[in-house]
Amino acid sequence: MKKFLSILLTLASAGLAAGAIYLMAAAPAEPPRDWPAHMSVQQHALVIAPIDHSYRVAAYLITWAIQLGYLGWLAMKWRPAKQG
């Protein structure tokens, strides 16, 4: 049970971290630095909104990847009270 939980948490952690990296890598391209010459402020906001969203979700996923990864490591070290 302990081993299963530990493996499950480690896999979840790795999956979340991979998801975060994928989200940032696959985010739409950023508009060029001279974007005011090509688009309005509203158009720029529409272009960057999905990029910001991807990065925000990635940050949340990485937070959970770290926390669950640590919990998985703790689960591996855990010994029931009777054995302790």
Q: Where does this chain bind other proteins (CB under 8 A)? A: 24, 45, 48-49, 51-53, 55-56, 58-60, 62-63, 66-67, 70-71, 74, 77-79, 84
What burial class does residue 35 get, using C-beta atoms within 10 Å of its C-beta: 0-12 exposed, 13-18 middle, 19+ buried?
middle
Instruction: Name the minimum Å distance from CB 53 to other proteins.
Output: 5
Distant-in-sequence, close-in-space partners of 61: CB < 8 Å, separation ≥ 6: 16, 17, 19, 20, 23
Instruction: Name the minimum Å distance from CB 50 to other proteins.
Output: 9
* CB of 10 or CB of 55, closer to other proteins: 55
